[in-house]
A = this chain, B = another copy of it.
Amino acid sequence: MKKSLGKKTMLLTHPVMIIGSYDKNGTPNIMAVSWGGICCSEPPCVAISLRKSRYSYQSILDSNAFTVNMPPVKYLEQSDYSGIYSGKDENKFETLGLTPLKSQFVNAPEVAEFPLTLHCKLLHTFDLGIHTQFIGENIETSCDIDFLDDKGIPDIIKINPFIYDTSSRHYYSIGRQLKKAYTTTK
């Protein structure tokens, strides 16, 4: 029997993305975003949703760029912190002991300690309500070579990212590898 639970932002398996941007003074900032993900294959695009009140909101509009950095479980505390406290009040890279690197591809900082980064150029903004969706074209992907598998692609087990369960509001690690996608036959 199914029970109605009301209007909810209820999807159990959400990515956690750490968004890098420069503010108007050129200070690097990061914030955790979970509302978003890949939204187009060609051009390859990522969607991230931000409230207007967030400090990164204007920074991304001003610089037309952002990075998406995938945090490993090792940096879960820092990631969580970056989603709570504002770059208005502090330089979170400094507080958290993380290293900002200027992206070689867009006008935004990446997090040196996080193995995988998507370098995004802002293409569209869509006002959806409390959140505005920023669509970025991923013009380059970079990954630390120590976190590639033997085929030269990012290795989810080595990177060890985590997800956000919007129901329990807890983070969860990744489990075991299941089936290869798009292989089921009739």
Interface residues of A (CB under 8 A from B): 1-17, 34-47, 49, 68, 70, 73, 76-77, 80-81, 83-85, 115-118, 123-124, 126, 128-131, 133, 135, 137-145, 148-149, 153-156, 159, 161-184, 186
Contacts and interface: CB of A to CB of B under 8 A. Distances in A.
> Copy number of this protein in the oligomer?
2
Contacts of A80: 179, 181-184
A172 B148 CA distance: 18
Given A80-B181, A130-B42, A173-B176, A141 B47 contact: no
B10 A118 contact: yes
Nearest to A90: B186
Given A161-B12, A164-B181, A177-B170, A39 B49 contact: yes
A143 B166 CA distance: 14
A155 B171 CA distance: 13
A165 to B, nearest CB: 5
A40 B159 CA distance: 28
A178 B174 contact: no
Contacts of A180: 168-171
A10 B147 CA distance: 14
Contacts of A171: 177-181
